[in-house]
Chains A and B, each alone.
Chain A
Amino acid sequence: MVRRLAIPFGKEQGATLMVWLVALGITVLFLWLLSDVIWQGGQAINGAFLTQAPIKAGLEGGIAPILVSTGLVLGVCMGVSLPLGLGTALFLTEFSPQRSHQAIRLSLDILAGVPSIVFGLFGNAFFSKVLGLGFSILSGGLTLACMVLPILIRSIQVGLVNVPHEYRQAAAALGLSRLGTLKTLILPAALPGIAVGILLGIGRAIAETAALIFTSGYVDRMPTSLLDSGRVLSIHIFDLAMNIPGGEQNAYGTALVLVILLIVINTLVSWFAERFRQSKLQIL
């Protein structure tokens, strides 16, 4: 120990230099990536890009049907995962006995780490094949619902756990039932936490590609029902970049749209999280 701590004088300066250089290097790389997407993407984006259908596999035209498909897939995903996630989080934090709690928690922790391509395989085998939904927005949305569930449940749980214990004590003292306390006190107080969960779930779902390749599919037409195949933004980027010669420009345009959506979602997350903290401070 003593020998390791006896460091010659010049080493401190060298280390400082190294740490700053690493940080600077990472910043430069990141700004390079971001400015590349903004610069190249900015040239592709205009009003028509957002409102037209793709022409020649996306080489020309815009991404309107792709935006609609993305919205529908997200809608299905959140429509299914939100009730499931909210119910699970409520059960785990408010009702559950310790043992089943542990089992479900472990199962969700593992689920959170499952690679997205495995969700794709599962979605293809279960939703597309066994349930007969084929390559459709519905299969894609349901697959994503399984995928975002852990992150959704965890954030809602954090929201619920952070509701001050005094609320529950006060409600119990007033003779409110557990259900009444839940509905009138705890859920409203946990609302910003739930909002954070929903936004994080949407953020994860909208960035996803691998799970959707063989569940919601590649078709770039305007979907007319949830049983149609629909191409989402991330798959459009992948297809343009990999399979369409000269498609980079519009791939960048689509990537910029995706990144902007994600930044908006991130900003909302911090805003809600901040509000959550403040509202608690005011009451206490």
Chain B
Amino acid sequence: MSRFKSEATWRVLLQILALCSGAILLLILGFLAWETLPILHTIFLDQFWRDPGWYPSEQAYNLTPMVMGTLGVTVGAVLVATPLGLLSAVFCQYYAPTGVAQLYRRLIELLAGIPSVVYGLWGLVVLVPLIAKVQPPGSSLLAGTLILALMILPTIALVTDASLASLPPSYWHGSAALGLGTWATVQGICLPAIRSGLLTAVMLATARALGETMAVLMVCGNVVQVPDSIFAPVRTLTANIALEMAYALDLHRSALFASGLVLMLVVTGLVVVTDRMTDAPES
């Protein structure tokens, strides 16, 4: 009898642990919401985009410049990284000899594992001075876009690579029978066939770019302004939190939590949609 009892005890114990793990997300949402409440009680929601600017000490909380900064670097990075990541996966699957492909894949995996602060350091020391030669000050929307693109490229390349690898070989047999070349097959058959995989890759990369903090904090210049050119310094939402959290009090702190909450909800939305897409059977 004792055997069953101990099994039941273990079951309950494991269930409690699992519930704890599952509850962390709710805990995070709860705390972000709790810390956001004070500012929602005090100001109107539209002040986040109608206030004269971001001057937390004077109760002005316009987040528009930061939202524009985040959108700017994210959209730019995704636009740069998607074609490159896609071609890089095509290279691995269809163009490179097996040995080269393996080596290249290993390299991309390494690239994916490099910490964002190291990307930021490299961007700050190498990339920013290069851009400054073209158009000072160097720390800019462009620098952030390029560094972010480099960081999300492995995500796109690896996910697309896996989708391409899952295509049935019969596609290639068919196209070979039709006398099509490699690129014609890739363009006409393989890429249309992995559309949903590619979309997943892009959405994961977007989520990563939206939430990225350290690299953009180090190369974007962090001036609170709506950028008027790609050489203008910008501040993203994440950089804003990282810069000001240390000394923010009361409503200022609450405003930072509000921007964190929005960021989290947007990223969560992307993840849930991606999840649904991956779960849905391919047609």
Contact = CB atoms under 8 A, between A and B. Distances in A.
A259 interface: yes
Contacts of B200: none
B183 A5 contact: no
B238 interface: yes
B271 A110 contact: yes
A110 B207 CA distance: 11
A114 B268 contact: yes
A173 interface: no
Contacts of B204: 113
Interface stretch (A62-70, A120-128, A161-169): A120-128
Interface string A2-32: 0011010001100110111011011101101
A273 interface: no
Interface string A155-190: 000000000000000000000011100000000000
A201 interface: no
A255 B126 CA distance: 15
- Chain A CB within 10 Å — which of B13, B15, B121, B214 has the most? B121
A87 B24 CA distance: 15
A263 B110 contact: yes
A7 B187 contact: yes
Nearest to B153: A26
Classify the secondary structure of B's interface with A: helix
A1 B188 CA distance: 8
Given A110-B268, A252-B121, A95 B15 contact: yes
A7 to B, nearest CB: 5
A219 to B, nearest CB: 13
B167 interface: no
Interface in A88-138: 88, 90-92, 95-96, 100, 103-104, 106-122, 124-126, 130
Interface of A: 1, 4-5, 7, 11-12, 15-16, 18-20, 22-23, 25-27, 29-30, 32-33, 36-37, 40, 83-85, 87-88, 90-92, 95-96, 100, 103-104, 106-122, 124-126, 130, 146, 149, 153, 177-179, 203, 206-210, 213-214, 234-235, 237-238, 241-242, 248, 251-252, 255, 258-259, 262-263, 266
8 contacts: A5-B178, A12-B184, A15-B186, A115-B211, A210-B242, A234-B117, A251-B121, A255-B121
